Amino acid sequence: MQGRIFIMTILKILEFPDPKLRIKAVPVEIIDDALQIIIDNMFETMYAAPGIGLAATQVDIHRRFLIADISAEKNEPYVLINPKITKKNGLEVTEEGCLSVPGYFDSVERADSICVSYLDRQGNQQEEEMTGLLAVCVQHEIDHLEGKLFVDYLSEAKRQKVRKKLHKSRKLQSDSSIML
Ligand code: ZN
């Protein structure tokens, strides 16, 4: 018999250019205990990485939900289930990184304010305006759910470079906090 009933699990994060990162996620239909466990494990995985956002796609679960926490104290967890951006405003260029593209950072232009509707982990409908880093993070993670990566915004030449670099140094880690 196992001595422990409940243990958190660090999930394996898929890395570019894994084709599974290109799978488009399907909507979540039931928020059940199994999903709650996956969400807890995703937080464990994201905090350990460390990162500030993680989409289900990145851990090979192809359903539409993501988690985020941009706080320094790691105490403002967000769970966005079936998120939809209903409004975008302004433009902001941020140096982004990605847990699925370790060791690579580049500037990406995104809206600096968004309105997003989603279900929280209790299944309650939420509508929220997000700005700054949280807005960038949520746009980055929603892209993952669509099978899109931040390196898709770069030129093909740059993407080739990323591929080569990742091939050479799989284990390269960065201590930047903007890992999504
Ligand atoms: Zn990412």
Quote the ligand 1 centre to 95 CA distance (angstroms): 12
Angstrom distance (rounded) from CA 12 to CA 79: 19
The pair of structure tokens assigned to 120 is 């929280």
- From the CA of 29, how far away is ligand 1's center (Å)? 24
How far, in Å, from the CA of 53 to the mean position of ligand 1?
A: 7
The residue written with tokens 């759910």 in the block is 145
Query: Token pair for residue 70?
Result: 């941009």
pLDDT of residue 175: 47
How high is the pLDDT of residue 1?
46
- pLDDT tens for each residue of 75-115: 999 999 999 999 999 999 999 999 999 989 999 999 999 99
pTM: 0.90
User: Of 59, 83, 64, 72, whose CA–CA distance to 138 is shortest?
Assistant: 83
Spatial contact of 140 and 53, defined as CB atoms under 8 Å apart: yes
CA–centroid distance, residue 1 to ligand 1 (Å): 38
Q: Phi and psi of 117, rounded to 5°?
A: -105, 140
pLDDT bin (cut points 50, 70, 90) of residue 39 is very high
Q: How far is the CA of 77 from the centre of ligand 1 (A)?
A: 17
- Residue 7 is predicted with a pLDDT of 74
The Å distance, Cα 174 to ligand 1 centre, comes to: 14
**For 142-168, what is the mean pLDDT?**
90
141 is catalytic: yes
**CA distances for 146 relative to 25, 82, 109, 143, angstroms:** 6, 12, 18, 5
Residue 6 binned pLDDT confidence (cut-offs 50, 70, 90):
low
Which pLDDT score, from 0 to 100, does residue 91 have? 95
- CA dist 118 and 80 (Å) reads 6
What is the per-residue pLDDT across 107-145, written as a single tens digit (0 to 9) for each?
999 999 999 999 999 999 999 999 999 999 999 999 999
3-state secondary structure of 115: strand
The catalytically annotated residue of 76, 127, 141, 146 is 141
Residue 169 banded pLDDT, cuts 50, 70, 90: low
Cα–Cα distance, 119 to 131 (Å, whole number): 19
